[in-house]
Amino acid sequence: MIVILDTSILRQDLLLRSPKIDLLLDFLTKTHGKLKVPNIVYQEIRSLYVRELQRHQNHLEKSRRTLQDLMMDQEISNFDLDVDAHAEKYVRHLRERLRLGDDDIVPYKNDYLPEVVRRATERLHPFTDERKEFRDVLLWLTTLDICDANPKESVCMVSANTKDFADKEGENLHPFLAGEATDKGARILYFPTLDDFLKAHATRFEFITREWILEQINVDSLKQEVERQLKLWEGSRFQRYIEHHEDDEFYDPSLVSVLSFDLSEYYCLGMTDGSIRIQATFESECEVEYRSYREEEEEYSDYDYDFDHLKGDWDWTYVTKTRHVPVEEMRYAYLWVESLVDIEVKDHEVEDIDVIDCYLQ
């Protein structure tokens, strides 16, 4: 088996710290599989890392200037960052972390150009009507070359780019690409996430059940850890959700509490060291508070004055008028969050638990 990772997967965890990378590498060791990274992905992830460094460096410089303006008698030094040196250090880390040799970084060919042009003009997948998918075509053609060079191996392509590579359901390879692979005698399986790939290759252990997991872990402690991580979101993820459901202006969304916490699904992987890793998903309902702001019309009583030149005096009339007044109030939203939890089992006992990440549903 050969596994190909797209940039859309690597960019989710630039430094590859997720336990799922360990699970993937262990699975490939156990099954004598190989990991391949097309050169277009290798180059793209390096460029992405450089842009991230530069973006944060610019933010840091702006903050430094702002802070310097507030200082009375202290100089705030510039932060010097050798971007190129860190980029080279990053790609070395990438190769070491994924155990990539020179042969595992697969180059694209100059001979691809006529085929790229043909697909662009005829709008053949992975090109679409927008015709912006140049790198996707290079990735796909490289994948076909990998299949051609390894005719006895099945190839698993892991890419979050469901728009260009997947079918309408976003679960399997696009029919046009699947047909093309079949015509060339290639066996390509598509997975939109690394989690989907691992789940498809999970192992069943009779003693591990939903009830066993809940008995082995401290659910209250795990819930508290999830709540702690959600409070570190600083409202940014909550804000994006509320924007889709709130017509009025709002600000300062923050977590109030996790109301419910329940194990929704799990799968297991047997490791080469004899341990078992359970990848569990817990579903939570969370209460989030935020301040909303709007303007409302308010009626009030007033007088209209008009000077009567015949009388030489002012006449007044009692009238009802409207004005806009600001209204600010505290509101609450109830959101569903999925928490991904990594559970390590040794000798039928839970050895370690780690909350990997949390996602809004």
Tell whether 16 is covered by a domain: yes
- The total of structural domains in the chain comes to 2
* 64 and 193 fall within a common domain: yes
* 121 and 269 fall within a common domain: no
Average pLDDT, the chain: 87
Q: What is the pLDDT of residue 78?
A: 79
State residue 150 phi and psi, 5-degree precision: -135, 65
- Looking at per-residue pLDDT, the higher value among 201 and 246 belongs to 201
CA–CA gap between residue 41 and residue 109 (Å, rounded): 14
Instruction: Please classify residue 101 by burial: count the beta carbons closer than 10 Å to its beta carbon, then call 0-12 exposed, 13-18 middle and 19+ buried.
Output: exposed
115 closest CA partner among 99, 129, 134, 91: 134
* 329 and 290 fall within a common domain: yes
Beta strands in the chain (DSSP E): 2-5, 34-38, 105-106, 155-158, 188-191, 249-270, 276-308, 313-346, 349-360
**Which two tokens mark 158?**
């892991």
* 165 and 217 fall within a common domain: no
Q: What is the pLDDT of residue 195?
A: 93
Tell whether 62 is covered by a domain: yes
pLDDT digits (tens, 9 = 90+) for 68-119: 888 878 888 877 888 899 999 999 999 999 999 999 999 877 776 666 666 6
CA–CA gap between residue 287 and residue 254 (Å, rounded): 9
pLDDT digits (tens, 9 = 90+) for 337-361: 999 999 999 999 999 999 988 888 7
Q: What is the pLDDT of residue 343?
A: 95
Tell whether 330 is covered by a domain: yes
Cβ atoms within 10 Å of 99's Cβ, excluding its own: 12
Q: Residue 299: helix, strand or coil by DSSP? A: strand
Mean pLDDT of 202-210: 94
pLDDT digits (tens, 9 = 90+) for 111-156: 766 666 666 655 666 665 554 567 788 888 899 999 999 999 999 9
Q: What is the pLDDT of residue 285?
A: 92
- Looking at per-residue pLDDT, the higher value among 204 and 238 belongs to 204
Q: Which domain holds residue 224?
A: 210-360
Mean pLDDT of 220-232: 89
Of 166, 182, 200, the position where a domain reaches its end is 200
- Looking at per-residue pLDDT, the higher value among 270 and 236 belongs to 270
The pLDDT of residue 265 is above 70: yes
CA–CA gap between residue 4 and residue 336 (Å, rounded): 32
- Looking at per-residue pLDDT, the higher value among 296 and 173 belongs to 173
* 165 and 215 fall within a common domain: no
Place of tokens 């042009």: 117
52 closest CA partner among 15, 79, 19, 96: 15
* 30 and 146 fall within a common domain: yes
pLDDT digits (tens, 9 = 90+) for 271-280: 999 999 999 9
* 53 and 186 fall within a common domain: yes
Instruction: Kindly report the length of the chain.
Output: 361
* 69 and 191 fall within a common domain: yes
- C-alpha distances in Å from residue 296, one per residue of 62, 289, 299, 326, 350: 38, 22, 10, 7, 57
Tell whether 205 is covered by a domain: no
Q: What is the pLDDT of residue 20?
A: 93
Tell whether 166 is covered by a domain: yes
* 165 and 293 fall within a common domain: no
Q: What is the pLDDT of residue 318?
A: 81
Q: Is 195 left (phi over 0), alpha (psi -120 to 50) or beta?
A: alpha
Q: What is the pLDDT of residue 115?
A: 67
Helix axes 39-70, 134-149, angle to 10 degrees: 140
Q: Residue 123: helix, strand or coil by DSSP? A: coil
Report the percentage of the chain scoring pLDDT > 90.
51
Q: What is the pLDDT of residue 91?
A: 94
